[in-house]
Amino acid sequence: MPPLRLNHLTLAIGLLCAALPLIAAPLQLDGPGRTRQDKDRDTYNRPDELFSFWGIREGMRVMDLYPGDGYTTLLLSQIVGPAGKVLAFGSYDHDAFDKRMKPLSLANVEETIAREPESFKTLPADLANLPGGSLDAVITIRNYHDIEDPAKALAELKRILKPGGVLGIADSRTTSGRDKPNHRIADDVIIREAIAAGFTLAGTSQILSNPRDDDSKGFWEERFIVDQSCLKFTR
């Protein structure tokens, strides 16, 4: 076999690099749009480890489901970069979200405004407006427990994800079932519902676990020590 010429070698390296997943850009935790309160939240949200576990990478199209004040959306926009897109979907705290995002004029962020608590009931119908197979990942943090019809919502989330796409769920834990007054949910409930909807459990992590949490309290009372599930599913 004749040796590879330089142009052939260059082509081979290029093809190999194209086949490799792009790595996530490092998070700019001191970047524009971030507050002192955000940095407090970083201590228990552990965003570097969390997004790495879920496999969020440059160039991805990611849905931040129920984005709140945009804490997570802003970090996702850093990771996916200009070639990616973040859909801040079900934005029920638009004023706080807009206060953070408007000065930044981020071209890779798109907000879909909703109302609370109605949006937890209308999620399946709201998602039905999105094209199938259009997203690489959907993540939602401490919101899954509020979704009123998880079976229908999960079916829509599966539909809008690409094959192999990721569904990342973190939520405040309870020992069993759903604790609606305290906005908590047991890991096994989320896993059972996601698998029933056709997702595959691709990983669990204890990076957000905290045994000091008192699960008889609402997660807002235990905010900085709340024990959280961390689950990764694939379509």
Note down the domain range covering 43: 33-234
Q: Does residue 8 lie in a domain region?
A: no
Q: Residues near 102 by Cβ (< 8 Å), separated by ≥ 6?
A: none
Domain contains 45: yes
CATH of the domain at 117: 3.40.50.150
The amino acid at 55? G
Are 77 and 108 in contact by the 8 Å Cβ rule? The answer is: yes
Of the candidates 149, 156, 187, 153, the one whose C-alpha atom is nearest the C-alpha of residue 169 is 187
pLDDT band at 223 (very low <50, low <70, confident <90, very high): confident
Q: 9 falls in which pLDDT band (50, 70, 90)?
A: very low
Q: Look at residue 9 and tell me if it is in a domain.
A: no
The confidence score (pLDDT) of residue 25 equals 62
Count structural domains, the chain. 1
